[in-house]
Chains A and B, each alone.
Chain A
Amino acid sequence: MISRLFKFNGGVHPPQHKLESTKAPITTVAMPQRLVLPLRQHVGNMAKLQVEVGERVLKGQLLAMADGQISAAVHAPTSGTIVSVQDQMIPHPSGLPDICITLDADGQDRWIEHQALDYRSLAKSEVIQCLADAGVVGLGGATFPTHVKLREDAHRPVKTLILNGAECEPYISCDDMLMRERGEEIVRGIEIMQYLLAAETCVIGIEDNKPEAVAAMRAAAANSSVPISVVIVPTIYPGGGAKQLIEVLTGKEVPSGKLPTEIGVQCFNVATAYSVHRFINHGEPVISRIVTVTGEVSRPGNFEVPLGMAIDQLVEVAGGATSDINGLIMGGPMMGFNLPPAPVPVVKATNCIIASTPGMFPKQPQALPCIRCTRCADACPVNLQPQELYWFSRAQNLEKARDYQLFDCIECGCCSYVCPSNIPLVQYYRFAKSEIIAQDKARQAATIARERNDFRLMRIEREKQERAQRHAQKTAGKTEVTADDEVKKAAIAAAMERARAQKTEVTPQNTDSLTPAVQTEIAEIDARRTAVESTRSGDNPSDQEQQQKV
């Protein structure tokens, strides 16, 4: 199925540091006293709260449901009492608080009634809806709601289902350990995904630094009802990025700004497949995940952690920080971020916690000027020209930065990693991106405000004319028409003409490029509207206007 592998541009080989955390098997963490569950642990709309403070809940009970299509539910990881719903610190690069449910465990860990789903007897759309209620999101770190990606699209059928077990970032080993220990269950999840997408081929991509995981997955795949091939890909960062892995395996590039389905591919993390299996075959929603705790802790390893557990507590479970750590990093050293000093909970995106010391990640020395050596361009997996983007971002020449495809940057950090001048390039790109987005928003808001103002001026003018007209009609009925009135009427007529001209100018023409069918439909509607209006002519002219506006 996969006869040869392909290469993407650049990439780097940072020290891996994966062995430390893969010595011991996955440990299940004891249920902590208190859990803090953010309502937003995924990409998309915040989940809608379904419980009240003081309510007793059971393990696996729905606490907040998905709000709209792109959203994911939140469930109780254990039985207990809801003690508060309020803003608390969450693990997010912004360092801003967000709404969280606080759940105090009752120690009984009592499950709500749950059962497996016979997914083959249900309509696919019903299975998808169930997954939306199960809180399944991409566990590779992006936390995009999974059910959205499992919907079949007649226009873009998925030919190849790719399971991402590359795990290219240094230090992180949660997917590695999951594949080693729970390969069979991952394969059950892949079978469900394959069924829902009707994919022709299934491929698991694993980097060549994880031979145990490859062996485990090969063994598990051999027992599967669907053909699944396990492909070894070279270890290179960021080879585990979805678009990079897709290119390595298929040789196809996901078009800029498009989804992988555009080229007939859909890609999930292996841990996501595991979640799908747990829910469909056991009825268990996502209430825990595997987290790597590594760095300067005395017992580095992988832990199955209930969502909402305080990260500080988790570090204690791993033996506590051994020496003078200067902070905790969530995610890997390349794309992760420093956690705030305040306690924050484990969320669905928490794949790895690194207790870091100044020795592990030395502070970058003073940045020197860029000498355009293009090491960054050589390392960029997206084939950008980082030195030019840096130049434009620094000069706040944002239009140019956009022209040079700033928004194709995946912020993998390869450029900063290789820069001999120690320039924090990615930070410049993030800054430029947020500036451009802010400017676009401001521009949009200004356009809307201007349109509203124009409209208001037009309305005032129209009302004035209407008043004048009414007045003129009244006086016309009472007295004879004088020359003066004639002049006034002419003036009013002229003003109305002007207003009409202005209006046609302002009204946006969105009816230019319609199909003939729609045009005839509009013509019919217009005909009906004229008929209605003629029956109540002069009744309420502003009504008429309103209709046109709409």
Chain B
Amino acid sequence: MLKVLLALVPGIAAYVWIFGGGILVTLTLASATALVSEAAMLKIRNRPITPFLMDGSALVTAWLLALALPPLAPWWLVVVGTLFAIVIAKQLYGGLGYNPFNPAMVGYAALLISFPLIMTQWPAPLALAHAQLGFSDQLHYIFNRALPDGVLLDAISSATPLDYLKTQLKLQHTLQSIGQAPIFGLLGGQGAELVAMAYLAGGLYLLQQRIISWHLPAAFLGALALISGAFYLADATHFASPAFHLFSGASMLCAFFIITDPVSGPTTPRGKLIFAASIGVLTYLIRVYGGYPDGVAFAVLLLNICVPLIDTYTQPRVFGHRK
């Protein structure tokens, strides 16, 4: 688990560079909430506290949730989301090893449904914003929801590339004209694509360390690339390129850090392929046809439900049984 946290560091560093230090506040808030609520729940459930706190699983959940939230989310949103993830999605199901759903994604989905407006208010990358917020300004904003004098919310926030793409396509604009907007970068969103690449680097480190198996990221990214590629080839004016989908939103975080949660995922090699590929397809469909700009959280949760079924029907052949 500590190696997973370590693998997230490049992504966080890129995040700070692109969006400012506010994410560090969010991460700290989420971590503290996760540790305190985990300890409290373990105490109530009469479980040994130290070994379970030391395993780092609560921190992983907290970090993943924090990284999925908008960077300048109000403090209470972070706390409520983390509490929901740790207390309800994890501990009430029996704690580590017993949660059928990915806790971070449960927390994220709960927040998205309860507070849709705040959850879709993303600050623009620093380089693109009309007004610059320093670290202290960001801190102030997270806790007090107050901006420096003369700065309006619109000046610092912008639609995410996925969001922007969706609304503009609805307005009958073509992809070529939409792509001219400054929020788009080379592959995905301006700046955000760097964060995605840093996640990719961290993920490759996890693969090299054999912490995660190749099946999950390969099948997820492969399926996402295939389906977006098929749509793109069919109609390039209305569907974004595979590269855009791979490097936008939570794709990379999902591929290497979210669907690789072993507890809520399948265990058989074939099962992992089916699980991850289905999430890839579902993510794309929700992005393109669903009501939310990104589909990772719901795709993961929906496939979590299918895990027992997938495992049952993908049992590998046991030694000495007929081929």
Contacts and interface: CB of A to CB of B under 8 A. Distances in A.
Interface string A1-44: 00000001100000000000000000000000000000000000
Nearest to A380: B319
B170 interface: no
Interface string A381-405: 1111101100000000000000011
A358 to B, nearest CB: 21
A256 B267 contact: no
The main secondary structure of chain B at its interface with chain A is loop
Interface in A326-342: none
A369 B96 contact: yes
Interface string B288-323: 000000000000000000000001000111111110
Contact of A383 (B55, B265, B311, B319): B319
Contacts of A383: 316-319
Interface in A292-323: none
B148 interface: no
B262 A405 contact: no
Interface in B55-72: 55, 57
B262 A374 contact: yes
A313 B267 CA distance: 49
7 contacts: A243-B320, A255-B321, A256-B321, A366-B48, A383-B319, A385-B316, A408-B318
Interface in A249-283: 253-258
A8 B319 CA distance: 9
B97 A371 contact: yes
Contact of B319 (A366, A368, A382, A385): A382
A387 B316 CA distance: 13
A369 B57 CA distance: 12
B132 interface: no
A405 B268 CA distance: 15
Contacts, number: 69
Interface of B: 48, 51-52, 55, 57, 95-98, 213, 262-263, 265, 267-268, 311, 315-322
- Which among A253, A254, A371 has the greatest number of chain B C-beta atoms within 10 A? A371
Interface of A: 8-9, 243, 247, 253-258, 366, 368-374, 377, 381-385, 387-388, 404-405, 408, 421
Given A369-B96, A369-B97, A374-B262, A387 B267 contact: yes
Given A8-B319, A374-B213, A383-B318, 13 more contacts: A247-B319, A254-B320, A256-B319, A257-B320, A368-B51, A368-B96, A371-B262, A374-B262, A381-B319, A385-B267, A387-B267, A408-B320, A421-B97
Contacts of A385: 267-268, 315-316
Nearest to B320: A256
B311 A388 contact: yes
Taking each of A256, A366, A370, A374, which has the highest tally of chain B beta carbons within 10 Å of its own beta carbon?
A: A374
A421 B318 CA distance: 24
B319 A9 contact: yes
Nearest to B315: A385
Contacts of B263: 371-372
B97 A372 contact: yes
Nearest to A372: B262
A247 to B, nearest CB: 8
B60 to A, nearest CB: 11
A379 to B, nearest CB: 12
Contacts of A255: 320-322
A369 B96 CA distance: 7
Contact of B97 (A9, A258, A370): A370
B289 to A, nearest CB: 32
Contacts of B97: 368-372, 421
Contact of B267 (A254, A257, A388): A388
Contact of B318 (A8, A256, A369, A370): A256
B224 to A, nearest CB: 24
A375 to B, nearest CB: 9
Contacts of A373: 262
A371 B99 CA distance: 10
Given A368-B55, A373-B262, A408 B267 contact: no
B320 A366 contact: no
A55 B197 CA distance: 85
A367 to B, nearest CB: 10
Contacts of A370: 97
Contacts of A388: 267, 311
Contact of B95 (A243, A369, A374): A369
A402 to B, nearest CB: 12
B48 A408 contact: no
A257 B320 CA distance: 8
A366 B51 contact: yes
Contacts of A382: 318-320
B20 to A, nearest CB: 35
A243 B48 contact: no
B104 to A, nearest CB: 15
A18 B57 CA distance: 39
A280 to B, nearest CB: 33
Contacts of B213: 374
Contacts of A256: 318-321
A247 B320 CA distance: 10
A382 B57 CA distance: 31
